[in-house]
Structure 1
Amino acid sequence: MTAAFSSSSEAVLQRVLDAPAERSVPLESLEEVYQIKKTCDFISHNQYKKAALQFPDELLVDAVAIADEIEKGTQAKVYILGDTSYGSCCVDEVAAEHTGADCMVHYGRACLSPSRRLPLMYVFERRPVDLEKCVACFKELYPDAQSHAIVLYDVNYAHVIDDLLALLTPEYQNVVASMLLVDGEQCHDERDEAQSDGEVVSQFGRRFALKSGTSIKDYGMFFVGVKGAALRNFMMTWNGCSFCSFDPTSATGRAESAGVNRALMKRYYAIERAKDANVVGILVGTLGVADYLAIIQQLKGAIRSAGKKSYVFAMGKINVAKLANFLEIDVYVLIACPENSLLDSSEFYRPVVTPFEMELACNKHREWSEEYVTDFRHLLPGGLSHVPLAGEEEESDDDTDVSLITGALRTRHMILDGPPPRPSDASVVLRNPTLTVANTNAAASFLAGRSWQGLERKLGETPVVKAVQGRRGIAIAYEEEGTS
């Protein structure tokens, strides 16, 4: 493909670009892959006038064709959303509201985190699975036919799980398959769970019922899908279970549990860094997951009670360069969906922890145990893992511990709410330096101490001059530079 970059009416530079052909679904297969009729029924039945279609980058090639088919089958105006502000697995309700949409349709992989603003429909990309090889790998990984196993899977493979279960259950009577849920509503055909009267587990948009008299620790987990955020989230949450996986892209299976303890120790190191921190940056990594504002407020209170300062940052997709701009921050805490919360921060200048890890660092009532929480909604009042903060009356001068990283003595000190008392001429207030953990200076004092403070307007200091003709062209070849 030849691309021409021009300045004014003259071509400045021409070159040939190798553009690989994009994968796209044939028009006759759109209905099967993207459930066009079901989507049209969802829009028409509810009489929605505007619909926002959210696509991940890898599916945008089919977006125009899908939108055309939906507009033909409904009376609604359709908008295409791409390049979401945060992870593509989350529903970008804010972008949809900018278009004035009445509903949303989310395509591709999804973390199934609950949302609150708009009616929502999920359309999962149906990826192929070689069931014979999958069954063979399962039997190799679980040679005992009496093994208790729970089948988990990425959402793109939900359409084959019933067939997989039908092939396994004649030999494996203790195999349980999970069911996809969205805020309590099933994403596919209901599976009969009447034969099980044991505990029912509902988490991460999945539900499965355990056999009577068993607990989740009695089961191994068999995951169907590509190794990534979903599998990592499951392994950290149910870290007391052994994990095996089958990758449909390579048709291979393997045991996954060897790295769980190592991953937990890396997270524990991050918690120690959070305990040592004086200044905490709260990163807003989602605007769509329900209750994200509530967890921000709860974290502010926990950080404040531990004598630390906090600042909130909203910067869209996070990268190393963005976070390196704030050298005063000692540790960041990321508010995101469960799959995106477990960020590998080894390349970052400062560690990035989860809300659960930050609470472990700030709330003395929460202790490190086998429980690991990736869904921040469970930390809120009424949640499964909520632990109230220590009250002011429980704080004492002897509430100290030792940093496992620096060996220094750490002292918790609660910052009282409200303005400090006004000193009088007859009063002298003694300050105990051992209780001062966080620098009480405002953010402006940090900025004043920097050698480079960013772009400044300097109103009244810059002379006013007439506009002059600037350069023309592109940086590689301005017109006035000529050719060499």
Structure 2
Amino acid sequence: MNNLEIDFEIKETIEFIQNGKFQKIVLQFPKNLLKYSIKIQQILKKSLSNSIKIYIMGDVSDSPCCIKESLAEHVGADCIVHYGHSCFSQVNKIPVKYIFNKYHFEINLISKNIIGFLESKEKSKDWIIFYDLSLNSHVNHLVSIIQKQIDKQKFNIKFAYFQDEFFSVLKENENQMKDSNQQIICGRKIEINQEEEMEKFSILYIGKNEDKYIEHLANNLAQNEIWVYDLITNTVELSITTQRQRRFIFQRFNFLQKIKESATIGIIVTSQRNKGDFETVKHISNLAKNSGKITYEISVGEISETKLGNFANDIDVFVAVSCPENIIQSKFLDFYKPVVTPFDIEQALNSNFIWDGNYSTEIDYTKWRNYENLIENLNENLNENQNENLNENLNQNQNENQNQNLIENQKENQNQNQNQNQNQNQNQNQNQNENLIENQIEN
């Protein structure tokens, strides 16, 4: 087996197609890997049945990290093989096989440098280690070395893993989280105990300084310091400071004010349709309507100032419904009108929203709905407590009245007894006096 077949996981791809009994396969390549597409297609065709159709998707200039499900549906594809970096945007119904870029790394050197760096940061004991997906085939070896050599009594280290089953539509949504300690953050699975707070962790990303994923981490972990281990230079640098994070949060707060002051909101839907996009658009429209705002839906291939400029006179704020890694871009800051995220809309227009201090470019309706349920439950509990207190007060008043009546009855009975005794004494005295008089007369 040559390097091409190993790097592009030909054997694993064939097994994926055969096990799934797929008949129409789309190969989605980013621009930098398109030069290998024809060769990969030919190798796969030789190893599969002649009845199986294999298509190459080449029109992926915008957001190649996203699964182009709508384009695959044009040829009736029943699965997609995605090559290169991915943001893991969820798809509606087409199974996906992910194949990442592969490089040859000196894992022993990398692990040695990382351990040395961690031990030099005496004040930072809690770490979450993310990694570029080009390391995915080496990560088990890397983690094994670090766990064996690091002092577990001194450091609390979590690893953010990629696992296929968390992003496959072949799995039910409820199976994505196997226990309450597992979280999905920026497309990676992390095991964090419920009592542990994300804010206490420092972040170490293993990749390259220019990786777009670093910005994605920064946007979603706005309260964490982020360090980068560069695989090119084998050095560690502080990439995202807490000061930069504060500026980012302040910037988003300015957008919140613009959303609240707006009269019209333009909902931008890009050409790639991800799972939940229709629900997101509907949810934003409802929030805007309840806040007295008008919404317009705009469909574009790629968000640009020129395209949005056509609507600048009619729309006050744009909200992008896009993949998590492309929903915030530095170029948006130069646009004439604000381009915000669904999270910004949720914060600005949902009166039940509870902010935990973290920003999110990912849409989590389960959590957002819980805010509304939480408020409803609090109100229900409040009403129940009020009713309980009312009943207690009524019972208490009733008991007090009963006790008071009992005391009054006792007093009344006591008075009656006293009167009766007095009458008896009077009668007795009267009888004595009568007897005394009779005796005197007789004498």
TM-score (norm 1): 0.67
In 2, the alpha carbon distance for the partners of 1:134 and 1:384 equals 39
> Do the aligned residues in 2 keep the contact of 1:106 with 1:121 (CA within 8 Å)?
yes
Distance 1:349 1:144, change over 3 A: closer
Measured after TM superposition, the shift of residue 144 of structure 1 is: 4.7
User: Which of 177, 200, 220 is residue 218 of structure 1 equivalent to?
Assistant: 200
Q: Which amino acid aligns with 1:208?
A: I
In 1, the alpha carbon distance for the partners of 2:219 and 2:95 equals 31
| Partner of residue 248, structure 2 | 263
In 2, the alpha carbon distance for the partners of 1:286 and 1:219 equals 37
Q: Encode CA deviations 1:441-476: one digit per residue, 9 max, x unaligned.
A: xxxxxxxxxxxxxxxxxxxxxxxxxxxxxxxxxxxx
> Do the aligned residues in 2 keep the contact of 1:85 with 1:316 (CA within 8 Å)?
no
User: Which of 187, 190, 195 is residue 208 of structure 1 equivalent to?
Assistant: 190
In 2, the alpha carbon distance for the partners of 1:134 and 1:320 equals 44
| Partner of residue 315, structure 2 | 329
1:151 aligns with 2:117: no
1:88 aligns with 2:74: no
> Do the aligned residues in 1 keep the contact of 2:186 with 2:216 (CA within 8 Å)?
no
In 2, the alpha carbon distance for the partners of 1:171 and 1:265 equals 37
| Partner of residue 245, structure 1 | 228
In 2, the alpha carbon distance for the partners of 1:71 and 1:58 equals 22
> Do the aligned residues in 2 keep the contact of 1:359 with 1:366 (CA within 8 Å)?
yes
Alignment partner of 1:340: what SS? coil
1:178 aligns with 2:160: yes
Identity of aligned residues (%): 26
| Partner of residue 289, structure 2 | 304
In 1, the alpha carbon distance for the partners of 2:194 and 2:356 equals 26
Structure with the greater alpha carbon radius of gyration: 2
Q: Which amino acid aligns with 2:138?
A: V
Q: Which amino acid aligns with 1:215?
A: E
Distance 1:287 1:117, change over 3 A: farther
Distance 1:279 1:214, change over 3 A: closer
Alignment partner of 1:45: what SS? helix
Distance 1:346 1:202, change over 3 A: closer
User: Which of 73, 87, 96 is residue 47 of structure 2 equivalent to?
Assistant: 73
1:161 aligns with 2:146: no
User: Which of 289, 303, 318 is residue 274 of structure 2 equivalent to?
Assistant: 289
Measured after TM superposition, the shift of residue 243 of structure 1 is: 1.7
In 2, the alpha carbon distance for the partners of 1:348 and 1:138 equals 43
| Partner of residue 326, structure 2 | 340
| Partner of residue 360, structure 1 | 347
| Partner of residue 5, structure 1 | none
Superposition pairs for residues 286-435 of structure 1, below 5 Å? 287-327=272-312, 328-344=314-330, 345-366=332-353, 369-376=356-363, 378=364, 380=365, 382-383=366-367, 386-388=370-372
> Do the aligned residues in 1 keep the contact of 2:264 with 2:295 (CA within 8 Å)?
yes
> Do the aligned residues in 2 keep the contact of 1:274 with 1:331 (CA within 8 Å)?
yes
Measured after TM superposition, the shift of residue 149 of structure 1 is: 1.4
Measured after TM superposition, the shift of residue 211 of structure 1 is: 6.1
> Do the aligned residues in 2 keep the contact of 1:54 with 1:104 (CA within 8 Å)?
yes
Measured after TM superposition, the shift of residue 130 of structure 1 is: 4.3
> Do the aligned residues in 1 keep the contact of 2:29 with 2:84 (CA within 8 Å)?
yes
Alignment partner of 2:222: what SS? coil
In 1, the alpha carbon distance for the partners of 2:7 and 2:219 equals 32
Alignment partner of 2:137: what SS? helix
> Do the aligned residues in 2 keep the contact of 1:334 with 1:354 (CA within 8 Å)?
yes
Measured after TM superposition, the shift of residue 183 of structure 1 is: 5.1
> Do the aligned residues in 1 keep the contact of 2:31 with 2:61 (CA within 8 Å)?
no
Distance 1:360 1:185, change over 3 A: closer
Measured after TM superposition, the shift of residue 44 of structure 1 is: 1.7
Distance 1:144 1:85, change over 3 A: closer
In 2, the alpha carbon distance for the partners of 1:300 and 1:88 equals 28
> Do the aligned residues in 2 keep the contact of 1:285 with 1:316 (CA within 8 Å)?
yes
The number of residues matched between the two structures is 351
Distance 1:200 1:122, change over 3 A: same
Q: Encode CA deviations 1:397-417: one digit per residue, 9 max, x unaligned.
A: xxxxxxxxxxxxxxxxxxxxx
> Do the aligned residues in 2 keep the contact of 1:128 with 1:248 (CA within 8 Å)?
no
Measured after TM superposition, the shift of residue 85 of structure 1 is: 7.1
In 2, the alpha carbon distance for the partners of 1:266 and 1:129 equals 39
| Partner of residue 116, structure 2 | 139
In 1, the alpha carbon distance for the partners of 2:287 and 2:194 equals 39
| Partner of residue 29, structure 2 | 55
> Do the aligned residues in 2 keep the contact of 1:332 with 1:352 (CA within 8 Å)?
yes
In 2, the alpha carbon distance for the partners of 1:212 and 1:82 equals 44
Measured after TM superposition, the shift of residue 111 of structure 1 is: 0.8
Q: Which amino acid aligns with 2:23?
A: K
How big is the alpha-carbon RMSD for the aligned residues of Structure 1 and Structure 2? 2.6
Alignment partner of 1:113: what SS? coil
Distance 1:257 1:204, change over 3 A: closer
> Do the aligned residues in 2 keep the contact of 1:302 with 1:363 (CA within 8 Å)?
yes
Distance 1:338 1:47, change over 3 A: same
1:36 aligns with 2:3: no
Q: Encode CA deviations 1:362-389: one digit per residue, 9 max, x unaligned.
A: 223325550322112x1x2x33665449
Once structures 1 and 2 are overlaid, which stretch shifts more, 250-259 or 114-123? 250-259
Distance 1:62 1:95, change over 3 A: same
Measured after TM superposition, the shift of residue 210 of structure 1 is: 3.1
Measured after TM superposition, the shift of residue 209 of structure 1 is: 1.6
Measured after TM superposition, the shift of residue 148 of structure 1 is: 2.2
| Partner of residue 13, structure 1 | none
Q: Which amino acid aligns with 1:260?
A: Q
Measured after TM superposition, the shift of residue 316 of structure 1 is: 0.9
Measured after TM superposition, the shift of residue 249 of structure 1 is: 3.1
* Higher helix content, 1 or 2: 2
TM-score (norm 2): 0.73
Distance 1:335 1:278, change over 3 A: same
Measured after TM superposition, the shift of residue 222 of structure 1 is: 0.9
Measured after TM superposition, the shift of residue 154 of structure 1 is: 2.4
In 2, the alpha carbon distance for the partners of 1:280 and 1:262 equals 25
> Do the aligned residues in 1 keep the contact of 2:69 with 2:274 (CA within 8 Å)?
no
In 2, the alpha carbon distance for the partners of 1:224 and 1:144 equals 17
1:231 aligns with 2:214: yes
Distance 1:183 1:293, change over 3 A: farther
Q: Encode CA deviations 1:261-302: one digit per residue, 9 max, x unaligned.
A: 122222222222222222111001364321110010000011
Alignment partner of 2:343: what SS? helix
